[in-house]
Amino acid sequence: MDFTFTDILPLISAIFVFILGLLVFSKNRKSRVNFTFFLHSLAITVWLFGTFMMFISREDREAAIFWDRFVYIGVVFIPVFMYHFGLAFIKKKPDFLLYLGYFLSFAFLILSRTQYFVNDIFSYQWGVHTKAQIFHHIFLIYFVGYVIIWFVKTFKFYKGLQSAFLKQQAKYVFVGFLFLFGIGPIAYLPAYGIGIYPFAYISGVIFTIILAYAIVVHRLMDIKLVMRRYSVYLVSLSSIIILATAIEYILIIYFVDVTFWADFAILILAILIFPPIRDYFYRLGNKYFFSSLYDSREVIADISDKLRTSLEAKRIYDFIYESLNKALHFKAFGILGYNEKENCYLPQYNKGFILSGQKKFLENEELHKMFIGRSEAIVVEEIKHSFYNQKTKETVDLLESLKVDILVPLNVKDKTIGLMALGTKESGDMYNNEDLKVLKVVSAQAAIAIENALLYEETLNFTVKLKKEVAKATEDLKLANEELKKLDEAKSDFISIASHQLRTPLTVIKGYISMMLEGNFGELTATGRDSLEKVYESGERLIQLVENLLNISRIESGRLQFNYGILSLEAIVDSVVEELADPVKKKGLRLDYKKPDKPLPKIKIDGEKIRQVVMNLVDNAVKYTKKGSITVSLKKAKENIQFCVSDSGMGIDKGDLPNLFKKFSRGEGTSTTHTEGTGLGLYVAKKMVMAHGGKIWAESKGKGKGSKFYFELPIK
């Protein structure tokens, strides 16, 4: 016989229920909750599979009766398994009702094999069912009685709970069983001669999805959280099933004989329209029902891109807050910095927390050992119920009073630099497993960005510290001078050592990423390639920054060595123009190189360092020119060779020209055009040119009118 959609529905449901029940059991085989849930899912699976076999055997009376009796192998145990699961969930020991339930279930199992339980066949439009007899009526009393007892016990448990966390779990379980026993018992109606479309079989799927998701992902015990994703698919699937059922129902009424090809056409139609219906419900849920239907990959990519654009701590804090709040919608957010000397955390950034004069947050050794040191988030509600003792009481009470829901460690390797504190979500939802995964990734990125920003800030403020030290030593000029030298040497040594330590791992990282981009470790996806290219670019910028810092350290300490040779400056410029041709072309600019009319004389220079100067000037012209052209020229000017690069870019304000070649100096507005600049390149270039006995300068007619950068080197 041909199968109809109505016939297959119980089989689809049975497979789905069994797989989800098995997943729950495999998650934690020792858990009483997981095991009893698996038993309950198994009973539902037997019910659904037996119904499928009964439907396809409706033309064979004996076979149909056999499979309906098979159905009751599972059905008679549903009430007691449900009750057993309920006891496990509310953490109650087995009681008399449980033992009585198992006794009655086995009794009804034996009775279901006889004609006094079900007998004969009732055929209706959508299927068949055996007719209920005397013991079936008694079984229904037992069934309804245990359902009522279970709901009463669960409701009492819910009312007696003080924890919002556990209340959400109880509410969640309550809703799941409402789905099951609000729709499922309709399947009994054919046993009493009432033919009805068998939509009751979808109840087992809905119930199992809700409960399985709640058990497997332990933190997801709020119905809103479950319905974030699964409800989108569930509602979409339900809509498709209802539509397909309606079409088949109409065909049965008006055309009577529904063929296999008609069912096949309905199935193909359902497959085709499922994606747009799913997308529609996804948008609808995101707009009206759910607080955080976000793409975790987009959140991580967004914050990663933003963190690369700044070395200013305040801006980094803002980036973290804005990106996370856009996804999670919390009421408050803060960042606490770790003070190693005082062994406490100090507020560095606050959005929404009422601190009431609280300036220090003492570290808790117990929580640090269990969570912070292991880079694990502290969920306050869970700590309160699982680790609440004399050692943690003070900290937990403080966090609760401040309405902190979660603390996320900011760790760099084995070093803790601070914590991210997140308040309650605007929707009242709990932080779920996906949220915690996103926060763990973001915290790792944020910790590195914050540490780099703090180190960079220390470097920028180093001159201020030097001045303070000199001011204190003015009473004795000699001591002040010696102290200044020591501090200057310490600074140079620090920069030199730090730069050396950074350059080696950065070079290794660059090498491996380069090999990955070239395909040495296998083919990359488009997304993976894009991400690696961004990492490669960031590595290049870091290497350049390290190189500049090393050069500054060597220049200022008088340790910069030069390797002079008689070289052609024209050849050096040729190689730089050739190297930058592709980046200029990709940016949509034109690069013109005006070569000298006749070969220029060779001069005594350090080729590597002068090439660095040329590269810096031309690269700057590319970075600060949005459209137009860049012109490079080289000529003899009296007893010098003059290099010039001119552009049609943003130009330079006259007030900025005198400061261009100073350390850490950048022109006004340049940070919006090129965010990664540090103000070191031109300073290094000036020192290199001056060491060759030359000079370097810049010219511009003002903002928006382009600029020219020159340097001259003596021929003799």
For the stretch 234-251, pLDDT in tens is 677 777 777 877 777 777
**Mean pLDDT (whole number) for 440-447:** 89
State the pLDDT at residue 512. Answer: 77
Write out pLDDT tens, residues 502-526.
667 777 787 777 788 777 777 888 8
**Of the listed ranges 124-133, 159-168, 216-225, the one predicted with least confidence:** 216-225
Of 529, 533, 528, give the one whose Cα is nearest residue 510. Answer: 533
Which amino acid makes up residue 716?
K
> Tokens 């810096």 map to which residue?
616
State the pLDDT at residue 220. Answer: 37
Which range has highest mean pLDDT (94-98, 158-162, 165-169)? Answer: 94-98
Nearest-10 crossing angle of helices 164-183, 223-255? 10
Mean residue pLDDT across the chain: 79
Residue 165 has pLDDT above 60, yes or no: no
SS (H, E, C) 210-243: HHHHHHHCCCCCCHHHHHHHHHHHHHHHHHHHHH
Q: What are the structural domains, with CATH classification, of the chain?
A: 5-221 (1.20.1070), 223-290 (no CATH), 296-454 (3.30.450.40), 461-557 (1.10.287), 565-714 (3.30.565.10)
Residue 673 has pLDDT above 90, yes or no: no
Higher model confidence: residue 442 or residue 666? 442
Higher model confidence: residue 163 or residue 320? 320
CB of 622 closer than 8 Å to CB of 584: yes
Phi/psi region, residue 679 (left: phi>0; alpha: psi -120 to 50; beta: rest), is left
% of the chain exceeding 90 in pLDDT: 18
% of the chain exceeding 70 in pLDDT: 78
Return the H-helix or E-strand segment holding 615.
helix 607-623
Higher model confidence: residue 120 or residue 630? 630
Higher model confidence: residue 616 or residue 203? 616
State the pLDDT at residue 667. Answer: 55
**Could you give the CA distance from residue 119 to residue 111 in angstroms, rounded to a whole number?**
12
Write out pLDDT tens, residues 328-354.
888 899 998 888 777 788 888 999 888
**Mean pLDDT (whole number) for 529-550:** 72
Higher model confidence: residue 80 or residue 480? 80
State the pLDDT at residue 578. Answer: 92
Q: What angle do CA 571, 576, 582 make, to 5 degrees?
A: 135
CB of 303 closer than 8 Å to CB of 444: no
pTM, full prediction: 0.40
Which range has highest mean pLDDT (114-118, 257-261, 665-669, 676-680)? Answer: 114-118
Residue 225 has pLDDT above 50, yes or no: no
State the pLDDT at residue 387. Answer: 67
